[in-house]
């Protein structure tokens, strides 16, 4: 035990002496959360929009005026035909098109009911959502103005079309994604690099000759990164609750327990990588390519898995982040308990055991 403490203390020295890496490890999640946070709360001003006015009557012009006057929009031009809309979007400068049907004023005054179509470019879902909200608000304003004046229940319906990304995945998805990414990055990358560094420096040989148990070498190396990951996790959660107003609906304890599980999965993976390579740069490349890319691409937090080709959907099952992502979303956003996520938890446990057994086997082979 004394030996173990001496070793863990040494590992903490390594971590704290390497200021740059430490800064990066703590700075990165904060930066990511803050960036996503600003993307979320971003107020959009003076966005250039295009109006397609088939009506060209009093009501439509009144609304166009209101749009123009608002701080949010600036009307780039007024189109007269539907064909041009697609072109406008392709150019990419315009994010929102407002379409007034012919007889807009007529419908409104005689049927008390008219429609306006809002077409948004949702390839950036946040912007798309925000723009249509702003426009709808302005239109609603106009509607209540009319109602106030004449006491007739006028109704203007806004028909919102999101093009390019009809699902409009919310940015709330980013927090669980960033959590998975950060935990995996620290745990896989840092453990594997730190073990391989001992090999590269020749200190591993000395450790193997010493009476210190090799399995303890590995455990002591993992401990600082385990705690670092938990601290990072807390920072991310605090930021997401207080900065992004994204409450944790489920049990915080369960969330931490599941995260600890993912950290252990990641540490075993880092161990496996470090046992399979002998240079830091190789370990880093494997960790980055083998871990970061699948986590970003196949965990479902950037791109919906359901939309992928079947082959990729199958492959996504072996990405630990996918299961963790489902777990975190269930706990944080849906507020579900353990009964809803036991399957995913079991899968992660299975992966961890598999990786651990594999890496310990590899470790022994190296010693023979």
Running DSSP on this structure, what letter comes out for residue 161?
E
Q: Residue 203, interface with other proteins (CB under 8 A)?
A: yes
By the rule CB under 8 A, 7 interacts with other proteins: yes
Q: Which residues contact 125 (CB under 8 A, 6 or more apart)?
A: 162, 165, 167, 168, 169, 170, 171
Helix and strand numbers (H, E) in the chain are 16, 5
Choose among 253, 262, 332, 264: nearest CA to 299: 262
End-to-end CA distance of the chain: 26
Which residue's CB is nearer to other proteins, number 7 or number 301?
7
Smaller CB distance to other proteins: residue 5 or 140?
5
Task: Kindly indicate which of the ranges 3-11, 120-128, 130-138, 357-365 contains the residues binding other proteins, using the contact rule CB under 8 A.
Answer: 3-11
Specify the residue, 190 or 333, whose C-beta has the smaller distance to other proteins. Answer: 190
If binding is defined by CB under 8 A, does position 365 make contact with other proteins?
no
**Is residue 311 close enough to count as binding other proteins by CB under 8 A?**
no
Applying the rule CB under 8 A, the residues between 212 and 271 that interact with other proteins are 212
> Binding other proteins by CB under 8 A: which of 2, 46, 92, 148?
2
Is 18 a residue that touches other proteins (CB under 8 A)?
A: yes
How many residues at the interface with other proteins, by CB under 8 A? 24
Distance of CA 118 to the CA centre of its chain: 27
Q: Does 202 sit near other proteins (CB under 8 A)?
A: yes
Instruction: Using alpha carbons, list the distances in angstroms from residue 125 to 40, 136, 138, 153, 160.
Output: 10, 16, 20, 33, 13
Q: Alpha-carbon distance 316 to 149, whole Å?
A: 58
Our finding on whether 166 is near other proteins (CB under 8 A) is no
Mark the segment that binds other proteins (CB under 8 A) among 209-217, 261-269, 287-295, 307-315: 209-217
Given a contact cutoff of 8 angstroms between Cβ atoms, the answer to whether 289 and 272 are in contact is: no
Of 338, 295, 339, the closest CA to residue 319 belongs to 295
Check residue 201 for interaction with other proteins (CB under 8 A): yes
Residue 5 interacting with other proteins (CB under 8 A): yes
Establish if 210 lies at the interface with other proteins (CB under 8 A). yes
Contacting range for other proteins; rule: CB under 8 A; set: 86-94, 172-180, 200-208, 320-328: 200-208
β partners of residue 259? none
Strand partners for 156: 114
With contacts defined by CB under 8 A, name the span among 10-18, 48-56, 317-325, 344-352 that binds other proteins: 10-18
- How far is the C-alpha of 123 from the C-alpha of 94, rounded, in Å? 12
* Beta carbon of residue 289, minimum distance to other proteins (angstroms, whole number): 27
Query: Of the candidates 46, 211, 253, 311, which one interacts with other proteins according to CB under 8 A?
Result: 211
Q: Which is nearer to other proteins, 149 or 368 (CB)?
A: 368
169 counts as binding other proteins under rule CB under 8 A: no
Q: Binding residue for other proteins (CB under 8 A) from 86, 87, 205, 245?
A: 205
Supply the DSSP symbol for 306. G
The residue (of 212 and 256) whose beta carbon lies closer to other proteins is 212
C-alpha span between 307 and 304 (Å, rounded): 6
Q: Candidates 80, 149, 209, 253: give the one binding other proteins (CB under 8 A).
A: 209
Contact 47, 72 (CB under 8 A): yes
**Inter-CA distances, 219 with 7, 194, 228, Å:** 10, 12, 15
Q: Which helix (H) or strand (E) holds 76?
A: strand 73-79
Give me the residues that bind other proteins (CB under 8 A), please.
2-3, 5-7, 9-10, 13-14, 17-18, 201-203, 205-212, 367-368
């Amino acid at each position: 035990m004394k030996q173990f403490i001496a070793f863990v203390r040494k590992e903490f020295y390594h971590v704290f002496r390497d200021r740059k890496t430490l800064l990066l490890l703590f700075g990165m999640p904060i930066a990511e959360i803050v960036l996503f946070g600003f993307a979320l709360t971003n107020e959009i001003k003076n966005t250039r929009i295009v109006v397609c006015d088939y009506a060209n009557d009093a009501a439509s012009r009144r609304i166009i005026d209101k749009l123009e006057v608002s701080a949010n929009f600036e009307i780039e031009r007024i189109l007269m035909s539907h064909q041009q809309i697609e072109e406008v979007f392709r150019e990419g400068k315009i994010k929102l098109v407002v379409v007034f049907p012919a007889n807009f004023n007529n419908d409104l005054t005689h049927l008390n009911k008219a429609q306006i179509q809002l077409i948004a470019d949702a390839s950036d879902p946040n912007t798309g959502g925000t723009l249509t909200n702003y426009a709808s608000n302005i239109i609603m304003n106009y509607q209540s103005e009319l109602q106030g004046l004449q006491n007739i229940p006028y109704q203007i319906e806004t028909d919102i079309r999101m093009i390019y990304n009809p699902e409009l995945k919310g940015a709330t998805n980013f927090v669980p994604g960033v959590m998975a990414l950060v935990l995996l990055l620290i745990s896989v990358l840092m453990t594997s690099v730190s073990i391989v560094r001992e090999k590269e420096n020749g200190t591993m040989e000395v450790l193997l000759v010493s009476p210190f148990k090799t399995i303890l070498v590995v455990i002591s190396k993992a401990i600082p990164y385990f705690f670092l990951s938990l601290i990072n996790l807390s920072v991310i959660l605090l930021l997401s609750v207080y900065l992004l107003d994204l409450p944790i609906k489920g049990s915080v304890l369960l969330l931490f327990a599941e995260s600890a599980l993912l950290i252990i999965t990641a540490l075993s993976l880092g161990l496996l990588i470090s046992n399979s390579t002998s240079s830091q740069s190789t370990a880093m490349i494997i960790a980055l390519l083998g871990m970061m890319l699948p986590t970003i691409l196949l965990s479902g937090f950037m791109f919906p898995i359901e939309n992928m080709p079947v082959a990729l959907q199958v492959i996504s099952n072996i990405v630990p982040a996918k299961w963790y992502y489902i777990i975190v979303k269930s706990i944080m956003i849906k507020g579900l308990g353990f009964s809803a996520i036991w399957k995913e938890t079991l899968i992660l446990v299975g992966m961890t055991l598999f990786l651990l057994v594999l890496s310990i086997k590899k470790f022994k082979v190296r010693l023979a």
